[in-house]
Amino acid sequence: MADIIQLLPDHVANQIAAGEVVQRPASVVKELLENSIDANATDIKLIIKDAGKTLVQVIDDGKGMSVTDARLSFERHATSKIRNAEDLFQLNTKGFRGEALASIAAIAHVELKTKKEEEELGTAIEIEGSKVVSQEVSVTPSGTSVAVKNLFFNIPARRNFLKSDTVELRHITDEFHRVALAHPNISFTFYHNGGELFNLPQENYRQRIVHVFGSKTNERLVPVEESTEVLKIKGFVGKPEFSKKTKSEQFFFVNNRFIKSPYLNHAVKAAFEGLIKDGYHPSYFLNLTVDPKTIDINIHPTKTEIKFDDEHTLYAILRSSIKHSLGQFNIAPVLDFEHQEQLNTPYNYKDKVVKVPQVQVDRGFNPFKDENFKKGSSFTDSFTRKSTESWEGLYVGLESDSNTLKQPFGETAFESDAQTKSIFENDQSVEARNTTFQLQHKYIVSTIKSGMLIIDQNRAHQRILYEGFLKHITIKEATSQQLLFPIELNFTSNERNIISQLKNDLEFTGFDFKDINEEGIIISGIPVGVPESEVSIILEQLISDIENEVPDANFSPTDLLAKSMAKSLAIKNGQTLGNTEQEHLVNSLFACKEPNLSPTNRPTFITWSVDDIEKKFK
């Protein structure tokens, strides 16, 4: 039998490796930015076209590469960061696997221009699908410029899996935020389709956070700082009242490298326990410094997951540090037994003689000494008598008409309440005629001819609201409730872009936007029936849905907007409904075009026939 195992060709192996490192344009952005940082760059420019599908270019002023290094950088497992296996546990740089540029070059057109500062001329290399097209001497500034064009040009299937430009740009922006926040000492500039999205100068960490997420963020930050032999923590957490329904403002950096750690995230949430509502997430921007020997960052190709030697100790230190900061800055209630200066005796009272306060009593006072007070009568009788004398004077002069006022008691007519006939056919009360009742504050049970109907009140209300919002958006007619005082909401630049794209559709549902600028969003009108306090929750939920559902090219913003608003405003499970509300919900549900399913294609009700019930008694 012939041998069936054989070595893969290099170009196939490179494309397989590229699938681990390069998943989308954001992956290219991450690798190129990290290479620039490792090159000791102080100014980095990121240029994007068509959400990275056409062009991803990173220009830096780093130390550059020689001719040999420029050529070797595109070979697999070629790196300047490590020399032996022991170096893997003493890493202080970003890229070390030696696969980033090789993987990118295997699936795109790459142009590299680089020059070392001490050299007069640089090197320019062009590669298409792992094949070197040209390599020549070039006049170029000091540093490195890498342009990645036509990503996945030789793998059409992978390119077809890319999402819409909005979604891909959001992923690129997320990667840019992660790198920019980890290195506030480096200036970053971000361009997309010729427009400048970010221009971040060299600054401190707090200023970098404010420049990335908006000026309103400054007043929401609480500093956290702790230094131990095991762990050093420095950064900020958001105040509990500004917690969000999304996790867009949660950043962990370990040795200046962004990581994802559900375990450490739980430590932060534990510190906020009792301060934020269920379903909300605290904001945090925390830099953790640990010994490189105690972590393993080589467990994932994208290096966003880290294995710690002693996670339990880090958990305890992180949780207690955040709780201490929240208490120290009067964010959370604490018991403080330290001496307080305001409890000290003032200096000007030091030599004063203590005076005992004097109590003076009128020993001759007698409350019962009154000329009308007679022996044997009660105080109540005396008070009643004086009150009677005062009001009887109001009727002086009416004695002459007293005869006309006197009528037999039997002939006196009394005013009575108007009697209203029942609108029902019989005399049964409304409670006696109820056909629905609520079960566990979650389901509405109603009788039908064939048996019993059980309705999920949350899903049913979602369906009702969903079709209503779709109708308003389609016919472009909706009633708006104008606000006396406009609402000003603060969002990040990416979130503002999402709201701007959906502005027209939101206005058709009843929202009225006064202005959308760099400072935030000003709303002057909201849909009728929407509480003012729910506006920020609705918009945050809408942004979260767009980010998490990752819509593709066939994505309908109108449909997603209606779904998101219906989910935010629908009756929640656990809410008590009156009998009239229950019946109205049932009638409205079956007036819908698709009463059987919720907007997320889940059943809104089930039926239980009499036969099914009888089987339970056999």
The domains of the chain are located at: 10-200, 212-328, 437-607
Per residue in 418-448, pLDDT (tens digit) is 554 444 444 444 444 557 888 888 899 988 8
Note the pLDDT of residue 322: 92
139: left (phi over 0), alpha (psi -120 to 50) or beta: beta
Confidence of residue 365 (pLDDT cuts 50, 70, 90): confident
pLDDT at 390 > cutoff 70: no
Per residue in 563-589, pLDDT (tens digit) is 877 888 888 888 888 888 888 898 899
What stretches of 205-361 show up as alpha helix (H) in DSSP? 205-213, 262-271, 311-328
> Which of 290-304, 319-333, 378-392 is modeled with the greatest confidence?
319-333
Query: How far is CA 448 from each of CA 129, 200, 451, 463, rounded to the nearest angstrom?
Result: 67, 65, 5, 21
Assigned token pair, 583: 């019946």
The percentage of residues in the chain with a pLDDT greater than 90, rounded to a whole number, is 21
Per residue in 178-206, pLDDT (tens digit) is 999 999 999 999 999 988 888 999 999 99
Of the candidate ranges 36-45, 46-55, 211-220, the one whose mean pLDDT is the lowest? 211-220
Q: Higher-confidence residue: 391 or 277?
A: 277
Note the pLDDT of residue 157: 81
438 C-beta neighbours (distance < 10 Å), count: 17
Q: Considering the domain 10-200, what is its CATH architecture?
A: 2-Layer Sandwich (3.30)
Note the pLDDT of residue 172: 92
pLDDT at 1 > cutoff 70: no
pLDDT at 87 > cutoff 70: no
Distance CA 588, CA 571 (A): 14
Note the pLDDT of residue 200: 92
Asked, colleague to colleague, whether 212-328 and 437-607 share their fold, the answer is no
Q: Is 487 helix (H, G, I), strand (E, B) or coil?
A: strand
Q: Higher-confidence residue: 232 or 305?
A: 232
Q: Which letter does DSSP use for residue 401 in this model?
A: G
Are the beta carbons of 297 and 91 closer than 8 angstroms?
Answer: yes
pLDDT at 49 > cutoff 80: yes
Per residue in 499-558, pLDDT (tens digit) is 887 888 788 778 888 888 777 788 888 887 777 877 887 888 777 777 665 444 445 667
Q: Which letter does DSSP use for residue 511 in this model?
A: -
Are the beta carbons of 557 and 505 closer than 8 angstroms?
Answer: yes
What does DSSP say about strands 187-192 and 43-49: parallel, antiparallel, or unpaired? Answer: parallel
Note the pLDDT of residue 423: 45
Q: Which CATH class name applies to 212-328?
A: alpha beta
- Note the maximum CA span of the chain: 137
Note the pLDDT of residue 463: 92
Q: Is 568 helix (H, G, I), strand (E, B) or coil?
A: helix
Are the beta carbons of 202 and 42 closer than 8 angstroms?
Answer: yes
Mean pLDDT of 204-220: 88
Q: Is the pTM of this model over 0.75?
A: no
What does DSSP say about strands 521-527 and 55-60: parallel, antiparallel, or unpaired? Answer: unpaired
Confidence of residue 349 (pLDDT cuts 50, 70, 90): low
Give me the residue label for tokens 């819509």. 551
Mean pLDDT of 87-96: 57
* Closest listed residue to residue 58, CA positions, set 4, 113, 106, 17: 113
Q: Considering the domain 437-607, what is its CATH architecture?
A: 2-Layer Sandwich (3.30)
